[in-house]
């Protein structure tokens, strides 16, 4: 029968991690909520009317498996579409990214020189 799975195609890790990284970066840099950070990232520049550098490329990459890609990218200009996209995708991307970073920290802290120093401190 084949390995074709029904439903929406999976998002590449590059797109999800890039968007989540930028949202988390905006949260820490500008002291915003994740939703406000997403709005700031997905808004157009007031001077020239363009998206932030590379943002439109990420959106195109996200919608690359859709049949009418241009429609989905153009439809992304509306605020209600951005809000729905945040609800359905960005929250999940952020949670996955933060869990990944937490696991990465735990692995680094529990291995190598840090684990030896931790054992020495606990023995005293």
Residues pairing with 44 in the sheet: 51
Q: Are 2 and 58 a contacting pair, CB within 8 Å?
A: no
**Looking at the 3D structure of the chain, how many domains does it have?**
1
Contact (Cβ atoms closer than 8 angstroms) between residue 90 and residue 47: no
In a domain, 7, yes or no: no
- Residues 98 and 110: their CA atoms lie apart, in Å, by 18
Q: What is the pLDDT of residues 48-94, one digit of tens each?
A: 888 888 888 999 998 888 888 899 889 988 999 999 999 999 999 99
Structure-model confidence comparison of residues 28 and 7, the more confident one: 28
**Is 114 part of any domain?**
yes
Q: What is the dihedral of CA 32, 37, 41, 44, to 10 degrees?
A: -70
Residue 26 has pLDDT above 70, yes or no: yes
Where in the sequence is the domain holding 101, given as residue range(s)? 13-123
- Mean pLDDT for 35-55 is 89
110 contacts: CB under 8 Å, gap ≥ 6:
118
What's the whole-model pTM score?
Answer: 0.79
Residue 4 lies in a domain: no
Task: Sort residue 62 into left (φ over 0), alpha (ψ -120 to 50) or beta.
Answer: alpha
According to the model, what pLDDT value does residue 18 have?
A: 94
Whether residue 6 lies inside any domain: the answer is no
């Amino acid at each position: 029968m084949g390995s074709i799975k029904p439903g929406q195609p999976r998002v590449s890790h590059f797109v999800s991690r890039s968007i989540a990284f930028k949202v988390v970066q905006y949260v820490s840099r500008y002291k915003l909520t994740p939703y406000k950070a997403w709005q700031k990232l997905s808004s157009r520049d007031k001077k020239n009317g363009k998206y932030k550098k590379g943002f439109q490329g990420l959106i195109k990459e996200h919608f690359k498996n859709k049949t009418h890609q241009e429609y989905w990218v153009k439809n992304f200009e509306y605020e209600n579409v951005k809000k729905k996209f945040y609800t359905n995708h960005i929250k999940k991307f952020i949670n996955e990214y933060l869990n990944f970073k937490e696991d990465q920290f735990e692995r680094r802290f529990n291995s190598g020189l840090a684990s030896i120093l931790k054992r020495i401190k606990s023995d005293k």
